[in-house]
Amino acid sequence: MSACVKLAAYDFFLVAAIRSAVQILLLQSAIIKQQKDLSSGCKRPQVYFVLGRTIAGTVSVCCQFYAYQNMNIGDASAIIFSSPFITGILAAILLKERFTVFNLLATLVSFGGIILVARPPFIFRSQADDAPFRFAAASIAFAASIATSIAILNIRKIGNKVDSYVITYYFSIVCFIVPIIIFSITTSYRLPQCGATRWLLIAVGVLGFLGQISFTNAIQLEKATLISIIRTTDVIFGYILELIIFGSSPSLLSIFGSLLIIAGASALALKKWYDIKSDRKDCNQSKTTEQSINQHQDFTETHL
């Protein structure tokens, strides 16, 4: 999808709006077929978190599309992929979730990777004329990561009270209305040209929809740890597409920074998997001990 966004070469607000319009049409048919209850997202207090998810998600999509169009796809993907670390920090502050020393170390490694990818001019004395512009694009990619984290926290607060299709449907509506209004105010309106451009814009919507559905199904069928590690391939494919389609190769600093981000994310995912496994083991041991005690009591009572 990221390559289609860059190839479309249209204002990122328009691309986001068209992507959401296609997504609405596809979701509408799925909601009607499966008879989803849209009113579940309008009840208190869920409506506040649904609204928070839609607004944060809209900001994230617009910032992501801007980053894809104005910097290397792999670099943008690497910075955007830092959202798990930001989510951990915000969850510790807002939801009072545990934030261990290991989480802190993984976050610092990831943040170091972000600095290497973004290469801020006040740290790296680059002579390139586009260095300030490139850093601005990287900052917007980081803003997308923060917005994604806020959206995830809102989804956590919603829990299972609202169906994922319903949440995505409301998000798509807001992500269509807001960008199209901003685009109409800030840019002279013109329809995309016929041919490849329109097909690219439609492809953005279809691929975005398929990506969300595939991710949701993967979460339901497989362990989140494995999925988190597999998602790191987004960065690798981003660099491959940038090289093949646009002929732009990443710098050594970008590659090293991306590897740091991937390593931090993978370590965090594996640590979470280990913690869950240990908790289950302790729980099973407690149940076994309790059963043994009950059996001993029954044996004693029988012989008394």
| Three-state secondary structure call for residue 223 | coil
pLDDT in tens, 40-52: 777 788 888 889 9
Q: Which of 59-68, 76-85, 220-229 has maximum average pLDDT?
A: 59-68
Whether pLDDT at 57 is above 80: yes
Q: Select from 55, 83, 80, 52 the least CA-distant residue to 66.
A: 80
Say how far apart CA 200 and CA 195 lie, in whole Å: 9
CA distances from 55 to 49, 63, 258 (A): 10, 12, 28
- Tokens at 232, concatenated: 């790191």
Q: Are 238 and 81 in contact (CB under 8 A)?
A: no
Mean of all residue pLDDT scores within the chain? 78
Q: What is the pLDDT of residue 143?
A: 93
Residue 216 neighbours by CB under 8 Å, 6+ apart: 164
Q: For residue 304, name the pLDDT band (cuts at 50, 70, 90).
A: very low
Say if residues 22 and 106 touch (Cβ distance below 8 Å). no
pLDDT level of residue 118 (50, 70, 90 thresholds):
confident
pTM (global) more than 0.85: no
Tell me how far apart the alpha carbons of residues 150 and 159 are, in angstroms, rounded to a whole number: 15
Contact indicator for 132, 153 with CB cutoff of 8 Å:
no
Cβ atoms 253, 117 nearer than 8 A = yes
Dist CA 29 CA 21 (whole Å): 13
pLDDT tens-digit readout, 177-215: 999 998 888 876 666 666 677 777 788 888 887 877 776
* 299 CB neighbour count, 10 Å cutoff: 10
Helix 252-303, helix 224-231: angle, nearest 10: 180
Q: Which two tokens stand for residue 227?
A: 């999925």
CA torsion, points 113, 119, 122, 126, in degrees to nearest 10?
150
**Predicted local confidence at residue 224, as pLDDT:** 54
Task: Fill in the DSSP letter of residue 160.
Answer: T
At 288, the pLDDT band (50, 70, 90 cuts) reads low
Sign of CA dihedral 61, 66, 68, 72: negative
**Cβ atoms of residues 268 and 89 within 8 Å:** no
pLDDT of residue 251: 84
**pLDDT tens-place string over residues 67-104:** 988 888 888 888 888 887 888 888 888 878 788 888 88
pLDDT of residue 300: 40
- Rounded distance between C-alpha atoms, residue 222 and residue 212, angstroms: 15
Sorted by where each begins, the domain ranges of the chain are 2-303
